[in-house]
Amino acid sequence: MGQSKIEPDLRDRILEKPEMILEDSDLMRALISANDRMIGENVIDLRGIAMERLETRLERLEDTHRTVIAAAYENLAGTNQVHRAILQMLDPLGFEDFLTSLSGEVAQTLRVDSIRLVLESVQGAADPALRRLGEVLCVAEPGFIAEYISGGRNISLRQVTLRQTIAPSVLVFGEADAIRSEALMRLDFGQGRLPGLLAMGSTDPWHFKPTHGTDLLSFFAGVFERTMRRWLS
C-alpha cells in the first residue's frame, strides 16, 4: 500500500466522519473530476455521467420548489392585502365616507395610485351631491363602460380586465396622466340598473398585467358590488 500524502490529522478526521465529504457537493465534484482524469479520456464513466444528470435534475427540482414556495407566499400576501382592504371598505357608515375611504386607506392598502367608481346615468352628474364626490365618483353616459373596456372592439367583456395603458381616460382617472396600468372591474347593481365600473390605476406599468390572476380582484369586486347595492337601494 502506497504512503498517503494526506496529513495524518486530516486523514483521521475524514476516516472518523466520511459523511462530511459526501455531504459537500463541491468536494464531491472535485473527487469525481480527479477520478475522471485518472481514468483517462478513452474510458467513458457511465456512473459519472448518470450522477451529473441526476444532479442537474435535482437542481431543476430545487429551482421549481423555490418558485412554487415564492408564488405561494406572494398569493398569501395578496389574499391578506385584499382582505384588509375589504374590511376597511366596510367600516364607513355613510355613503360619502364609504367612497372617500376608497381613495384613502383602501388605495394605500392595495398599493394603487388611484381608485375611481364610474356610474352610468341618463341624467349625468347634475346632482350637487355627486359633484362633491368628484375625486372618487364620476358619472358617464350609458354605454361608456363597455366602450372604455373594449376600446371600441367587438369583444366579450370579462368581469375583471387587467392591462397596461398609455393614455388613460380623463373621465375615469381625472388628470392623473401618469397612470400606466389599470384594473377594470365591471359591476352589476341588479335588474333595472345601469352597470358600474371600479377602476384601479397604478403609475407602475407592470402592476397590472393581462397575465396576472384575477381571482382576488373578482372577489373584491363582488363584495364592492353587493355593498353598493345596499347604498343604491
**What are 205-227's pLDDT values in tens digits?**
888 888 888 888 999 999 998 88
* pLDDT attached to residue 169: 67
Is the confidence at residue 12, as pLDDT, over 80?
A: no
Count of structural domains, the chain: 2
Question: Do 171 and 99 belong together in one domain?
Answer: yes
Say whether pLDDT at 37 is over 70: no
Do 142 and 39 share a structural domain? no
3 is a domain residue: no
Q: Give the C-alpha separation, 68 to 212, whole Å.
A: 16
Of residues 168 and 19, more confidence is placed in: 19
Domain range for residue 16? 9-60
Does residue 214 share a domain with residue 162?
A: yes
Q: Domain check: are 40 and 120 in the same one?
A: no
User: Strands across the sheet with 181-187, in order?
Assistant: 137-140, 114-120, 196-202, 181-187, 160-164
Are residues 211 and 154 part of one domain? yes
Cell of 230: 345596499
* Other Cβ atoms within 10 Å of 194 Cβ, number: 16
Hey, what's the cell of 207? 402592476
Q: How far apart are CA 57 and CA 60, in angstroms?
A: 5
Q: Say if pTM beats, i.e. exceeds, 0.85.
A: no
With cut-offs at 50, 70 and 90, classify the pLDDT of residue 20: confident
Kindly indicate the confidence band of residue 1, based on its pLDDT and cuts at 50, 70 and 90.
very low
**4 within a domain of the structure (yes/no):** no
pLDDT in tens, 162-205: 988 766 667 788 765 688 899 999 998 888 888 899 999 888 88
**pLDDT higher for 131 or 137?**
137
Determine the Cα–Cα distance for residues 53 and 45; give it in Å rounded to an integer.
13
Residue 131 has pLDDT above 70, yes or no: no
